[in-house]
Amino acid sequence: MKRTPLKRIGKRGRVNLKANQILKKLYEDRPCICELQFEGCTGGLFLGFAHRHERDWYYKTPELLSKFNQTILACSGCHQKMDDDKELREQVFIRLRGNEEA
């Protein structure tokens, strides 16, 4: 089998890696469960950071990518449901993290 070289990490990839390191430290003292708990939630399995805005929105101000009020810890199923419904995402973030300016 022929091996292919790995692609180098670009500028956006480095920004994402740095933001994830910061977020992991912010969330390390919090319970390791999905904060959304929608129907069909997997609880503590397959967790990731769900963001308040689409990923492209953060490239104008990358420092917001790692802010606590811009993220929610969510399982992959709940994250997908929230990403599919923009109004639901806005309601959830206001309920759990308050207004964006907070």
Enclosing domain of residue 44: 11-97
Q: What is the mean pLDDT of residues 11-18?
A: 91
- Domain membership flag for residue 16: yes
Query: Is residue 3, in this structure, part of any structural domain at all?
Result: no
Please, are residues 47 and 9 in contact by the beta-carbon 8 Å criterion?
Answer: no
Give per-residue burial for 51-83: e unless 16+ CB within 10 Å, then b: bbeeeeebeeeeebbbbeebbbbbbebbbebbe
Contact criterion met (CB below 8 Å) for 33 and 43: yes
- Structural domains counted in the chain: 1
Task: Kindly report the pTM of this predicted structure.
Answer: 0.83
pLDDT band at 36 (very low <50, low <70, confident <90, very high): very high
20 located within any domain: yes
Query: What whole-number distance in Å separates Cα of residue 102 and Cα of residue 97?
Result: 8
Residue 11 and residue 18 in contact, taking contact as beta carbons nearer than 8 Å: no
Reply yes or no on whether the pLDDT at 96 is more than 90. Answer: yes
- Decide if 30 is inside a domain: yes
